[in-house]
Structure formats: C-alpha cells, structure tokens
Amino acid sequence: MSNDKTVLEKYYLLFIYFIFLTLDCYFLYNGKFSSRFYSKAVLMPCLMLWFMSNTAFNVRSSPNTYTARLLLYAAFLFTWAGDVFGLLSNTFFWTAWLYIYSSAYIIYCIILVSIQINTTKEESFFFYVKKAVPAFFVTLLLSMLFLYKLVGINSEFNTMALYAHTLVLSSVAMLTVNMWGGGDLKRIHPLFTLSLVFLLAANMIYAADEIHFHRRLPIIDVIVAITNGFCQVFFVLGVIKFIRVKRE
C-alpha cells in the first residue's frame, strides 16, 4: 500500500465497518432483530474489502504470505455464514452457527501456525512448551468450568458442541501465546494477543447471555457485538502487519 495515502484513503472501509457495527448495536439494543440483516450481514464483506485493499496481490507481495491471506479469506466466508445463521431464531441454525464459528477459529489456528512458520528465518514452527501449554490448559479449564456452571455436563448435542467449541478456543489461545517466543514475532503478536482477549471475552459474555440471561438484557448483546467486532479487526490487523513485515 502506498505511504502517501491519507488516513481516510487507507481506512475508509474500516470506518464503514464501524458504522455498520454501530448500526448493528443500535438494532440490538432496541430489539430490532430483523433489521440486523442490513447491518450484521454487511460487516464481514466490509472487513474483507478493507483487508483486500491493503493486501492486493502484486509483485511486492511475498510468496510466504499467500497461505495466511487465502486462509483469511476462507475465515471471512465462514464468519459471514456464521453471522447470517446466527440471525435465524432456530435451534438447528443456532447449532450450525456454533460449528461454523468453530470452523472459522480452526482456520485462525492454521493462519497462526503459517505466520509463525513464515516469520522465522528458519521457516520452521517452534513450539514454546512453557508458554503455550499452560495457556491451552488454563483457557480450557476455565472455559469448561464456566460452561459447567451454566449448563452442567450431559450428552445433549448442543452441550457437547459448546464443550468442543471451548477446545477450539483454547487452541487459538495456545497458538497466540506461542507467538510470544521471540524474533520478528514480537512485532506482530500484540495485535493477535488483543484479538484473543476480545475473542475470549465475546464468547464468555455471549454464553452467559444466551444460557443464563436468555437474551433479556440488550446491553449485553451490544457488548458481545463490540468485543466480537474488535476481535476480528485486531486479527486482520495482525495479518496485515505480518504481510508488511515480510515485504521489508
């Protein structure tokens, strides 16, 4: 991306994203759920177009970044499908939404691995056991205790899907913390760490809202939308930062 562009030229699509996010929060707070098809469903296309405008395929692009870029487009698609399914008030679609989001987070994991491989000079994946393993088990334990408090343990399909979802989230946490190992990753990991914080917050707040409060408090829905939005933005910023590092 050219350095002589104005702030508006660089970020106008991101501004549009936040405009639609604000509109979505308005609809949530006022209980206008059917209107969210005009706000929630537009968020991922805006974010994808912003990412595309910053990382167009050209001669300056490093081949080491192709995997992360292509996978992020897949994550956009899965997240968009999850957003749309989540707007439908139906048990089947709610479960489908959960699995689609889990699939998007699995793609996040693969992107994190690809970035860590291609950022090191050796182009190898280094697993920092002392950092990554505790992050995985602490996140998994706290998430499962949180779910146990809300729904207990049973063999119902929806409940098992929730526990499987926590496993995926813990994997994202593990691979994000693994970026704290060193090297050029030090320039990248703060953005992914912020994304992780918002990711865990959004999922925990949503679970409590859906299972315990039964969506009775609109302000909680708004908080979930905001935290989820920032999670996605910081993850995309992390990938953009990685691409810029490889261009240097």
pLDDT for res 148: 74
Q: Tell me: the pLDDT tens digits for 35-70? A: 999 999 999 999 999 998 888 654 455 677 888 999
Q: How far, in Å, CA of 176 to CA of 180, rounded? A: 8
Q: How far is CA 154 from CA 52, 146, 245, in A?
A: 43, 15, 47
Neighbours of 91 (CB within 10 A): 9
Widest distance between CA atoms in the chain: 58
Q: How far is CA 54 from the centre of its chain?
A: 19
pLDDT for res 15: 94
Whether residue 64 contacts residue 111, with contact meaning beta carbons closer than 8 Å, is answered with: no
Low-confidence ranges of the chain (pLDDT < 50): 1-2, 58-59
- Sole residue written with tokens 């969210």: 36
Burial letters 194-205, b for 16+ CB under 10 A, else e: bbbbbbbbbbbb
For the whole model, what pTM was predicted? Answer: 0.88
Whether residue 110 contacts residue 71, with contact meaning beta carbons closer than 8 Å, is answered with: yes
Q: Tell me: the pLDDT tens digits for 216-233? A: 788 998 999 999 999 999
pLDDT for res 155: 54
Q: How far, in Å, CA of 61 to CA of 128, rounded? A: 29
pLDDT for res 153: 63
Sign for the CA dihedral angle at 169, 174, 180, 186 comes to negative
Burial (Cβ within 10 Å: 0-12, 13-18, ≥19) of residue 36 = buried
pLDDT for res 170: 95
Question: How would you write the chain as a 3-class SS string?
Answer: CCCCCCHHHHHHHHHHHHHHHHHHHHHHHCCCHHHHHHCHHHHHHHHHHHHHHHCCCCCCCCHHHHHHHHHHHHHHHHHHHHHHHHCCCCHHHHHHHHHHHHHHHHHHHHHHHHHHHHHCCCCCCCCCHHHHHHHHHHHHHHHHHHHHHHHCCCCCHHHHHHHHHHHHHHHHHHHHHHHHHCHHHHHCHHHHHHHHHHHHHHHHHHHHHHHHHCCCCHHHHHHHHHHHHHHHHHHHHHHHHHHHHHHC
- Sole residue written with tokens 């343990």: 153
